[in-house]
Amino acid sequence: MRNLKKNDLKAKNLKTPDLKAKNLTAQTLKACPICGGTMQYFAPEAVNICPYCYFKSLDEPLKEGRASHDIKVTPPKFFSKYIQNVESHYETTIQENLEPSYDIGLTNLKLITSDFMLPFQKDINSFFKARYASLERGGFLILSVPVEGIFFKAPPLTGQINILRSKNIMFLLERNGFKLVRRSMPFGWIVYLIAQKI
Ligand SMILES: [Zn+2]
């Protein structure tokens, strides 16, 4: 993961880190919550970008963007089939969407469906830890996440604080005790994933 060249950032037309602009010191630079790398700060966009996994986090939630509840979250047909299969086996379904929150307040759940939650989580690892704690062993976590890729880019969302790549999500799942069961093809700006608590 660390073999990416510095030039990769230049190639993406990013501006040089402007630490003086915000009077930042090395201490204020953030560690990437996904891979632990030192994130680079870019002004004036006030965005922190990890040069290793390309995770981006904004200093402040976006004020202008699309409202996430206006976006229809519809998995591709072939993928809906897998989701329905999981859902048909389990009665306990927590369906959560759009609201940033960590704790569910319930335990031993068999299935949690989280639509479009990740862009809004200030502490993205705590989000996964809380869902891990709420699920029973073998329980399912179904996610839909707007992502940035080479060919597709999710539109900015009001209140968004994280900009993720689908690779970032796999890493977060793995890091927080989930195994990936299935994910949609990476050809759209929404990625759908089914994961299971190990
Ligand atoms: Zn990273």
Residue 169 falls inside a structural domain:
yes
Q: What is the pLDDT of residues 31-81, one digit of tens each?
A: 999 999 999 998 888 899 999 999 999 999 999 888 877 777 778 887 888
If asked whether residues 42 and 107 sit together in one domain, one would say: no
**Ion ligand 1 residues within 5 Å by Cβ:** 32, 34-35, 37, 50, 52-53, 55
Q: Where are the alpha helices (DSSP H) in 106-165?
A: 124-134
Cβ atoms of residues 104 and 35 within 8 Å: no
If asked whether residues 47 and 123 sit together in one domain, one would say: no
Domain with 14, as residue range(s), is: 7-58
Q: What is the pLDDT of residues 13-41, one digit of tens each?
A: 455 555 555 555 555 688 999 999 999 99
Answer yes or no: pTM beyond 0.75: yes
State the distance from the centre of ligand 1 to the C-alpha of 2, rounded, in angstroms: 9
Residue 63 falls inside a structural domain:
no
If asked whether residues 44 and 95 sit together in one domain, one would say: no
State the distance from the centre of ligand 1 to the C-alpha of 79, rounded, in angstroms: 28
Backbone dihedral angles phi then psi of residue 114, each to the nearest 5 degrees = -120, 110
Q: What is the pLDDT of residues 72-118, one digit of tens each?
A: 777 888 788 888 878 777 655 566 654 545 677 788 888 888 888 89
Count of the separate structural domains present in the chain? 2
Residue 2 falls inside a structural domain:
no
If asked whether residues 100 and 159 sit together in one domain, one would say: yes
If asked whether residues 53 and 131 sit together in one domain, one would say: no
If asked whether residues 35 and 110 sit together in one domain, one would say: no
CATH code, 190: 3.40.50.150
Residue 16 falls inside a structural domain:
yes
Burial (CB count <10 Å: 0-12, 13-18, 19+), residue 95: exposed
> Residue 197: how many CB atoms within 10 A of its CB?
22
If asked whether residues 86 and 175 sit together in one domain, one would say: yes
Cβ atoms of residues 147 and 54 within 8 Å: no
High-pLDDT (> 90) share of the chain, %: 46
Residue 29 falls inside a structural domain:
yes
If asked whether residues 88 and 184 sit together in one domain, one would say: yes
Residue 137 falls inside a structural domain:
yes
DSSP 5: -
